[in-house]
Amino acid sequence: MLHRLALAALLFPLPAGAEPPLAVEIITARAAEETQVLALTGELRAHDTLNAAFPTGGRIREIAVDAGAKVTRGTVLARIESVQQEQALRAAEAGLVTAQTDHRQARETLDRQDALLERGATTRIARDSAQDALNIAEGLLGQAEAELARAKKALDDTVLLAPEDATVTDRLAEAGQIVGAAQPVLQLALGDRVDAVFDVPEILMSRQDRPETIHLDLIARPETAFTGTIAEISPVIGPYTGAVTVKVAVTDPPQGLIYGEAVRGRTEHKTGTRVILPFTAITATAGGPAVWQVDPASMAVRTQPVTIGEYRTGEVVLTGGVEDGALIVGKGAQLLYPGRVVVAAEVTQ
């Protein structure tokens, strides 16, 4: 059609003083259903994590496991120096032996005083004094037993055990380091659930629709493909990244996944029917962006306001203003004005 219009403009003479048609590139706008693929790189992390720490402070004597090690419930993870705790335990054991001896002697004395009182060979005051001595001995025995229990617990607290089956994901301290009570020493991943964590630009989070399935694959092993679903979206924007942290729960984790491994997440987003034009077709007007649209009957141009949905490299995506099949000036618009007659220098479909 454009070839015939251009030929007609050349065959019929122009009125005297009329400008010849301006040769420009004319594009036939085509609206199409578009699917946009979004891909981001993230990191594999454990869904459930625990920072293992000693309940008491001290100097670390040993870290028994390395990052990546799989441990079972009760496995020794680390130890701190326990000289003071061992000394306290020995002192508590000796104190308990003394308290038990005193209690036994007080019991024997009371039994003897009861027997003598029945025969009238002692006084009530002496018998009551023996009872008081036994009561005191029982109190001291209870204190000694409690002290021994505390000493045993303090010694047990110098050994850090795995609370359940887990994977060591990070060592947060080393042997010889002094740590405080409850200061994390090891990071553990509990269970087998895995998340892929991404920092997503805020502009992408403004979309109303959320993908049901995220397609995942490992950067180092692209053939290892699996899927996931969005499990958590951070309510705040990261102060340093300017992005929103999104956790994707892996629904079918394959064997051999490693915590901390780089992972690529991909999703397809249907953007609807849109018209894509080269950026050279866009012109600026007082009312906003527009294009030069060609009347196929007269080949005269006019400005047509448009709505730009997205800027891409070398092109723009329109969400309104241009209908399917419209003739648009792609290049050569710098000399145009409303009503100017043009001719197709090149036709691009």
Kindly tell me if the per-residue pLDDT of 8 is higher than 50.
Answer: no
Q: Given this model, what pLDDT does residue 23 score?
A: 92
Render pLDDT for 135-170 as a digit per residue (tens, 0 to 9).
999 999 999 999 999 999 999 999 999 999 999 999
Q: What percent of the chain has pLDDT over 90?
A: 72
Render pLDDT for 245-299 as a digit per residue (tens, 0 to 9).
999 999 988 888 888 899 999 998 777 788 999 999 999 999 999 999 999 999 9
Domain 2-34+273-348 CATH (choose: 3.40.50.300, 3.30.70.100, 2.40.37.10, 2.40.420.20): 2.40.420.20
When the pLDDT of each residue in the chain is averaged and rounded to a whole number, the result is 89
Measured CA to CA in angstroms, residue 33 lies from 82, 203, 298 at distances of 70, 22, 31
Kindly tell me if the per-residue pLDDT of 347 is higher than 60.
Answer: no
Residues of the chain with CATH 2.40.420.20: 2-34+273-348
> CA-based angle 240:245:250, to the nearest 5?
145
265: closest CA among 232, 218, 223?
218
Q: What is the pTM of this model?
A: 0.62
Q: What percent of the chain has pLDDT over 70?
A: 93
Residue 305 and residue 288 in contact, taking contact as beta carbons nearer than 8 Å: yes
Residues of the chain with CATH 1.10.287: 82-157
Residue 100: CB partners within 8 Å, gap ≥ 6? 141, 144
**337-347: average pLDDT:** 85
Number of residues in the chain: 349
Residue 27: CB partners within 8 Å, gap ≥ 6? 277, 278, 281, 327, 328, 329, 330, 348
Kindly tell me if the per-residue pLDDT of 2 is higher than 60.
Answer: no
Fold for the domain defined by 38-48+192-270: Elongation Factor Tu (Ef-tu); domain 3 (2.40.30)
Amino acid residing at 157 = D
Q: Given this model, what pLDDT does residue 65 score?
A: 96
Q: Given this model, what pLDDT does residue 332 score?
A: 85
Distance between CA atoms of residues 265 and 247, nearest Å: 11
Q: Given this model, what pLDDT does residue 334 score?
A: 86
Domain 82-157 has CATH 1.10.3210: no
Q: Which residue has the tokens 């994707």?
A: 248
Q: Given this model, what pLDDT does residue 12 score?
A: 45
346: closest CA among 14, 23, 7, 11?
23
Residues of the chain with CATH 2.40.30.170: 38-48+192-270
Render pLDDT for 90-120 as a digit per residue (tens, 0 to 9).
999 999 999 999 999 999 999 999 999 999 8
pLDDT band at 63 (very low <50, low <70, confident <90, very high): very high
